[in-house]
Amino acid sequence: MKSDNKSLFQKDLLNEAFKHSFVKLNPKLMFRNPVMFTVEIGTAVMFVVSLWTLFGATNQGSFGYNFSVFLILLLTLLFANFAEAIAEARGKAQADSLRKTREETPARLENGQIISSSQLKKGDVFICEAGDAIATDGEIIEGLATIDESAITGESAPVIRESGGDKSSVTGGTKVLSDKIKVKVTTEPGESFLDKMIALVEGASRQKTPNEIALTILLAGFTLVFIIVTVTLKPFADYANAPITIASFIALFVCLIPTTIGGLLSAIGIAGMDRALRANVITKSGKAVETAGDIDVLLLDKTGTITIGNRKATHFYPANTIDEKQLIRAAVLSSMSDDTPEGKSIIELAGVNPLSFQVDEPHFIQFSAETRSSGIDFKNTRIRKGSTDAIRNIVEKADNVFPKEIEEKVKEISSNGGTPLVVSENEKALGVIELQDIIKPGIQERFERLRKMGIKTVMVTGDNPLTAKFIAEKAGVDDFIAEAKPEDKMNYIKKEQAEGRLVAMMGDGTNDAPALAQADVGVAMNSGTQAAKEAGNMVDLDNDPTKLIEVVEIGKQLLMTRGTLTTFSIANDVAKYFAIIPALFITAIPALQSLNIMNLSSPQSAILSAVIFNAIIIPFLIPLALKGVAYKPIGASALLRRSLFIYGLGGVIVPFIGIKLIDIVVSLFI
Amino acid sequence: MNTEILGIIAMFVAALVLALPLGIYIAKVYGGEKTLLDPVFNPIEKIFYKISGINPSKEMNWKEHMVAMLTINLVWFLLGMAILMTQQWLPLNPDKNPNMSPDLAFNTTISFVVNCNLQHYSGETGMSYLGQMWLMFLQFVSAGTGLAAAAILFKVFREKTTDKLGNFYEFLIKSCTRILLPVSFIVALLLVFSGTPMTFEGKDQITSLQGDTVNVSTGPAAAFIAIKHVGTNGGGFFGVNSAHPFENPNYFTNMVEMVAQLIIPLAMIFAFGYFIRRKKFSWMIFGVMTVGFLLLTIPNINMEMNGNPAISAMGIDNSLGATEGKEIRFGAAATGFWSIVTTVISTGSVNAMHDSTMPLSGMNELLAMMVNAFYGGCGVGLLNFFIFIILAVFISGLMVGRTPEFMGKKIEAREMKIAMIIALLHPFLILVGTALATAFPEHGASTLNNPGFHGFSEILYEYTSSAANNGSGFEGLGDNNLWWNITTGFVLILGRFLPIIGPIAIAGFLANKKYIPEGNGTLKTDTATFGLMVFAVIAIIAALSFFPALTLGPIAEYFSMK
């Protein structure tokens, strides 16, 4: 988000937005925005009045004056449309650059036939080999490959994707670097997440979010108040023998209604989604971004988010009666088929080639969440490696004693933040392997920032509670779920939601899908399974687990931008009153000259200046609407003070200066 | 001069000091906790419940509450119409006052039912003692209605999620018996001791020194005047209200009446915080209201004490302040103070002619009623303030990047819709009413005593006073005719019941919502910062909607005087 200051207004985008500002004048489109719709009616009336003065009306001021008011009102509308159009154009441009990666690519079907990617339907299966570009989004159903995803993520290191498991998704436009995979197409053409996102940005399927609706009601309310104020002013003025021209009425009305926020409202919403897209997050609805700003609880997986990659084995601790070599042998054997980084690190630490051991007819036992252990069986030997509880169970079931020193070592390792893995051979405990986590540098600061934002962070880990507690404290998370099974996540989310909190989580596996769906904001990794991506309401193209923090800030920025611009817009009215009200009555009631505190040169120039200020403030604020108001985690009250000072007080003062300056210029011409 | 200021400070401090314990007492009453007066009132209330067949333990949701409120108010209205239109033939009419015309009876009954007491009649000649006593009854129950409605709000924010919000009739009866009655009793005693009449005899005849006989109206005035202030009603027993020597004989009674009208609105603020166990929240409300109150009061006292420059210009000594239309026994300062107290609170009793206050004093009186939430009337002041809180919560919630919530409840589109309608209603009633009266000069302008800006202020004041259910008059308006009786009557009804139903509906919706526990990112609503936000919302809504109208009235008059 830092990089796009320069590119805020690119030339081609400007051209497109310029064209659209006129297209959007269509009253049917305008009707969606009650504030600007009333301005459009006012503009139409002013057009008629201008013609009327041209053909002889004398009591409404000169044609030039009336026509100027008409032109400025038209400009106000165009500026507001332009804001929306440029936001749309930027969002589209961003989406297009992602879409470019998936231009027509040939896809080779199973039967050898080659068709274009656009002809692929959901359920088709195609084959990719080293050097091929993947034709469209899909799921690997067979094989494993290294894939270059830099086109999407910008990350140059290749990633491994394989069938089964949680990393089975491939994205259209990415490139296979090695091996061969079979991919099943998961979306109909034109219905991928990216396509849906583009449709959202383009406005076709954009729906107002609940908060946007509530704000629109507030703004419509203010508009109604000022309709009443303006309409009733007519008999008041007649009573005071101070006739008011139609131009003045309309100018007063347009200046008072919150056109600034009204004109920028939809641009702010689109820009929010666009900012998410720039952070490489595809959102499925505007509401999801908004909800992200409200998150109270954040569920984060320990691995990859809080700790770097994976745990590594650091020590072997044999039981008292056991020789270290025996422990190492058993440890290595049990890790032979264990492809997890932990398993590999055990072999690495042992420094022996597992194939150097003589093993007949080995039978490998895979790890499962239920047994919480893995191992190998051969001949009369049964080696198991797993969590303390699991191995203790095995040992004690066979009526063997679980050695006390192991028990103590386990506790010691756990309380130091390590993970103990106990190894047993033929139901006898041999010793403990210590695995250690490395906490990501800088993660503490990020959690501190979240805490200041009022968000509770929860670490989810398969570790035992002692280890989890140690890492949780070291990393600075507020709570943890240890020895987490998939349903634990779900239960935790439900519990927090029942207490009224909003929960966000990130996940990739199929077994994360229910929790992703349950969470208020579920971010699925792009590398995750299709089920996970369907269940969540955002997809992170970077597969970056800390992305949630950015998403939350984008959501907060979105609301803040709306709030501050509303405040600014309404605060502006004070100065506009002091410009227009004296101008309306000065001729009939000269005493009211004292109200003309800005000392504007004439009633007509005062009214023109107010209307001009009202129009040009919109383009001035477009960059703010697009970039969003900066969020600072300084606590809600401090934030409110700051916003009130800048946008409230600023909103009162700025128009006084602005209108005066414009008046100086305008008075040169009338 | 310093004595005058000291007198004002004494009134305010006395009211505040008494309001604090009274607030705790009120909270206990609504919470059903034990209080000192239980032995007295428990048996009395039991009789009420028995006769009327009300089961006070049957809890209502917000809709049932509002149905109960409207039903009982309709009954009072119909009874009132019947009594006032036939009072000539009914007992307790020693002065032989005539029946009221239907439109005047309509206006009078409505205005007493809605706690406004606009009074297009004069008590001495227009009302029998029975009529006065019925009006006095209405002064109790209309204040009780407002208090009971506020009690629903209390209940909503004490519970986390519920639709059981207590029983309306229980709240109403307790408000009348345990809150209004004891306080009024004390005030009435103080008035009687100071010389206010309390009798059922007819006019007194006095022979003056010149030998003329003068008929002096008396009546059961002390009781009436007590509840008129305690219940923030404002309707006087005599035509000129608290400027009358019997209604307000001396500076001491003036102080008593001032304290009497301040005490319950102030106490309700503290009762709220005590009831929902957020005392700091009460202080935030009190702070905002008091700042607003002082910003209106201090200039008024100052302007009234400085006197009228036009009179100074004529070479007349103005050192006592602007005394035109004032009672010398109260002085300019106390009158200036009264003029704002009676308009910020929806009392509307007067101890001087507001018509005669300085132009910008008149504007402040108008502004006080346009805001109608700096203290405000019995119960309803808090309800009005609640609407501003909802609007402030919404905007400031956005400004801190969180969908807005108040007391753990999310404020969404439906609540905003209601809040906006209620916020709109007040300017709508005032501006449209005034616009109609100016657009049809045969009804409006022709009844004015003053032309020009001041006349415009008179019209604006009448509708503002009606919409705010205040009941004070700028006067100078021939207001007992079909036009004024009917138009203000409808403004009164709308200006009373919608601003009660709206906030209660919002509260009712919020009560049903899930409770969200407070977190670090939650905007605290009991801080000075939030108070500032609420104040800004109030100032902007009142200033923005009424600025043009005020410009053509008091502001134009002020600048023309210079």
pLDDT band at A114 (very low <50, low <70, confident <90, very high): confident
CB nearest to B395's CB, from A217, A228, A567: A567
Strand-pair category, A175-178 with A138-148: antiparallel
Residue B552, pLDDT above cutoff 60? yes
The pLDDT confidence band at residue A155, using thresholds 50, 70 and 90, is low
Percent of chain B predicted with pLDDT > 90: 64
Contact B543 A574 (CB under 8 A): yes
What is the model's pLDDT at position B282?
95
A74-84 pLDDT tens trace: 999 999 999 98
**Mean of pLDDT over chain B:** 91
Residues in A closer than 8 angstroms to B446, CB to CB, are none
Angle between helices B102-113 and B62-86 (to 10 degrees): 140
The total of other beta-carbon atoms located within 10 Å of residue A121's CB is 10
Task: Please list the helix, strand and coil fractions of chain A in percent, rounded to the nearest 5, in that order.
Answer: 55, 15, 30
pLDDT tens digits for range A222-266:
999 999 999 999 999 988 888 889 999 999 999 999 999 999 988
Count the Cβ atoms, other than its own, within 10 Å of residue B483.
18
Give me the pLDDT at residue A157, please. 66
Beta-sheet strands, E only, within A296-453: 297-301, 312-318, 363-365, 373-378, 381-386, 418-425, 428-436
Section A341-350 average pLDDT: 82
pLDDT at A15: 85
Position with higher pLDDT, A198 vs A558: A558
Which has the minimum average pLDDT: A39-53, A521-535, B95-109, B214-228? A521-535
Q: Is pLDDT of B380 > 70?
A: yes
Cα–Cα distance, A136 to A115 (Å, whole number): 12
Across A59-73, average pLDDT: 90
**What residues form DSSP beta bridges with A146?**
A160, A178
Q: With the CA atoms of A425, A429, A430 and A436 taken in that order, what torsion angle do they form, in degrees rounded to the nearest 10?
A: 110
Q: Which pLDDT score, from 0 to 100, does residue B250 have?
A: 93
| Token pair for B329 | 């026994």
Residue A194 has pLDDT above 70, yes or no: no
Average pLDDT, stretch B15-29? 96
Question: What is the ipTM score, two decimals?
Answer: 0.90
Is the pLDDT assigned to residue A205 strictly greater than 60? no
Considering only CB atoms, which chain B residues are within 8 Å of A640? 396, 399-400, 523, 529-530, 533
A544 is catalytic: no
HEC profile of B366-431: HHHHHHCCCCCCCCHHHHHHHHHHHHHHHHHHHHCCCCCEECCEECCHHHHHHHHHHHHHHHHHHH
Q: Which band of pLDDT confidence, cut at 50, 70 and 90, is reported for residue A201?
A: low
In degrees rounded to 5, what are phi and psi of residue A632? -125, 125
Q: What percent of chain A has pLDDT over 70?
A: 93
Q: What is the mean pLDDT of chain A?
A: 84
pLDDT mean over A128-141 = 82
- Say which range, A117-131, A603-617, B386-400, has the weakest mean pLDDT: A117-131
Which one of the listed residues A137, A301, A463, A520 is annotated catalytic? A301
Q: Which residues pair with A635 in a beta bridge?
A: none
Q: What is the spatial distance between Cα B409 and Cα B386, in angstroms, rounded to a whole number?
A: 14
DSSP-assigned states of every residue in A593-627: GGG-TT--S-HHHHHHHHHHHHHHHHHHHHHHHHH
pLDDT of residue A3: 42
Chain B neighbors of A573, CB-CB under 8 A: 540, 544
Q: Is A338 labelled as part of a ligand binding site?
A: yes
Q: Which of A55-64, B135-144, B314-323 has the highest mean pLDDT?
A: B135-144
What is the percent of chain B where pLDDT is above 70? 99
Q: Which of B552, B557, B561, B562 to mutate to test the interface with A (most CBs of A within 10 A)?
A: B552
Closest CA to B433 of B391, B386, B495, B353: B495
CA distances from B392 to A59, A213, A559, A566, B238 (A): 43, 17, 15, 12, 42
CB-nearest to B395 from A555, A563, A635 is: A563
Whether B284 contacts B368, CB under 8 Å = no
pLDDT 10s digits, A398-457: 888 888 888 888 888 887 777 788 999 888 888 999 888 777 777 888 888 888 877 888
Q: Is A55 exposed, middle or buried (0-12, 13-18, 19+ CB in 10 A)?
A: exposed
Q: Which residue has the tokens 């299966």?
A: A125
> Tell me, what's the pLDDT at A517?
86
Helix axes A603-627, A246-256, angle to 10 degrees: 30
A-chain residue closest to B560, CA distance: A591
C-alpha–C-alpha distance, residues B124 and B93, integer Å: 11
The residues spanned by each domain of chain B are 280-561
> Which tokens sit at A247?
């131009």
The least confident of A292-306, B58-72, B86-100 is A292-306
> Is the model's pLDDT at A514 over the cut of 80?
yes
- A2 annotated as ligand-binding: no
Q: If DSSP codes are grouped into helix, strand and coil, which group holds residue B79?
A: helix
Does the annotation flag A385 for ligand binding? yes
Q: Decide if A301 contacts A327 (C-beta within 8 A).
A: no
Distance of alpha carbon B293 from alpha carbon B371, whole angstroms: 10
Residues on chain A touching B562 (C-beta within 8 angstroms): 591, 594
Tell me which chain A residue has its CA closest to the CA of residue B457: A236
pLDDT(B293) > 60: yes
Residues facing residue A363 across a β-bridge: A377
CA–CA distance, A274 with A578 (Å, rounded to integer) = 39
Rounded Cα–Cα distance for residues B433 and A179 (Å)? 82
Rounded to an integer, what distance in angstroms lies between the CA atom of residue B419 and that of residue B435? 24
Select the residue of A454, A563, A640 nearest B529 (Cβ to Cβ).
Answer: A640
**What is the model's pLDDT at position A93?**
81
The reply to whether residue A556 touches residue B439, judged by beta carbons under 8 angstroms, is: no
Q: What is the pLDDT of residues A618-643, one digit of tens each?
A: 999 999 999 888 888 788 888 899 99
Q: What pLDDT does residue A7 have?
A: 58
Could you give the CA distance from residue A149 to residue A541 in angstroms, rounded to a whole number?
9
User: Exposed, middle or buried: residue A28 (CB in 10 Å: 0-12, 13-18, 19+)?
Assistant: exposed
Query: What is residue A9's predicted lDDT score, i.e. its pLDDT?
Result: 67
pLDDT band at A2 (very low <50, low <70, confident <90, very high): very low
Inter-chain contacts counted by CB atoms under 8 A, chains A and B: 213
Q: Which residues contact B302 (CB under 8 A, 6 or more apart)?
A: B336
d(CA B189, CA B186): 5
Give me the residues of B, 351-410, that contact A with CB < 8 A.
Answer: 391, 394-403, 408
| Distance of alpha carbon A560 from alpha carbon B330, whole angstroms | 52
- Which member of A220, A585, A647 has the closest CB to residue B551? A585
DSSP reduced 3-state for A382:
strand
**Are the beta carbons of B424 and A294 separated by less than 8 Å?**
no
Facing residue for B399 by CB, picked from A224, A499, A640: A640
Would the CB atoms of B529 and A637 count as touching at under 8 Å? yes
Q: Are A193 and A282 in contact (CB under 8 A)?
A: yes
Q: What is the distance in angstroms between the Cα of B534 and the nearest Cα belonging to chain A?
A: 12
Homologous superfamily assigned to A312-436 = Calcium-transporting ATPase, cytoplasmic domain N (3.40.1110.10)
Residues of chain A with CATH 3.40.50.1000: 283-308+439-541
Cβ neighbours of residue B98 under 8 Å, at least 6 residues apart? B88, B126
* Cβ contact A240–B456 (<8 Å): yes
Mean pLDDT of A95-111: 73
Q: Is the pLDDT of residue B316 over 70?
A: yes
User: Quick count: other Cβ atoms within 10 Å of Cβ A505?
Assistant: 28
**pLDDT over 50 at A338, yes or no:** yes
- Max CA separation in chain A (angstroms): 114
Higher-pLDDT residue of B329, A452: B329
What CATH fold (topology level) applies to the domain A121-188?
2.70.150
Residue A239 has its nearest CB partner, among B399, B445, B555, at: B445
Q: Using the beta-carbon criterion (under 8 Å), do B399 and A577 form an inter-chain contact?
A: no
Quickly count: other Cβ atoms within 10 Å of residue B64's Cβ: 16
| Contact: B519, A454; criterion CB under 8 Å | yes
Of A93 and B343, the structure prediction assigns the larger pLDDT to B343
Q: Does B281 score more than 90 pLDDT?
A: yes
Does any CB of chain A come closer than 8 Å to the CB of residue B194? no
**Strand, coil or helix: A364:** strand
A298-312, A486-500, B339-353: least confidently modelled range = A298-312
User: Is residue A585 within 8 Å of residue B551, measured between CB atoms?
Assistant: yes
* CB A658, CB A617: distance < 8 Å: yes
Q: Is A373 annotated as a binding residue?
A: yes
Identify all chain B residues contacting A560, using CB atoms and an 8 Å cutoff.
398-401
Q: How many residues does chain B have?
A: 562
CATH number for the region A283-308+439-541 comes to 3.40.50.1000
The encoded tokens of residue A85 equal: 């159009």
- Contact across the interface for A644 and B517, Cβ inside 8 Å: no
For an interface test with B, give the residue of A216, A229, A502 to mutate (most B CBs within 10 A): A229
Contact A573, A255 (CB under 8 A): yes
Task: Assign A103 a pLDDT band (cuts: 50, 70, 90).
Answer: low
In chain A, what residues touch B548 (CB-CB under 8 Å)?
Answer: 229, 233, 236, 252, 577, 581, 584
Task: State residue B255 phi and psi, 5-degree precision.
Answer: -65, -45
Q: Cβ contacts (< 8 Å) between B411 and chain A: which residues?
A: 214
Interface of B with A in 407-426 (CB under 8 A): 408, 411-413, 415-417, 420-421, 423-424
- Select the residue of A221, A581, A643 nearest B548 (Cβ to Cβ): A581
DSSP per-residue letters across A621-654: HHHHHHH-PPP--S-HHHHHHHHIIIIIIHHHHH
Which residue do the tokens 């601003």 mark?
B499
What is the band of B364 on the pLDDT scale with cuts at 50, 70, 90?
very high
Note the pLDDT of residue A4: 45
Residues of B in contact with A639 (CB under 8 A): 399-401
Of B44 and B449, more confident = B44
Q: Name which of A574-578, A587-591, B480-484 the model is least confident about.
A: B480-484
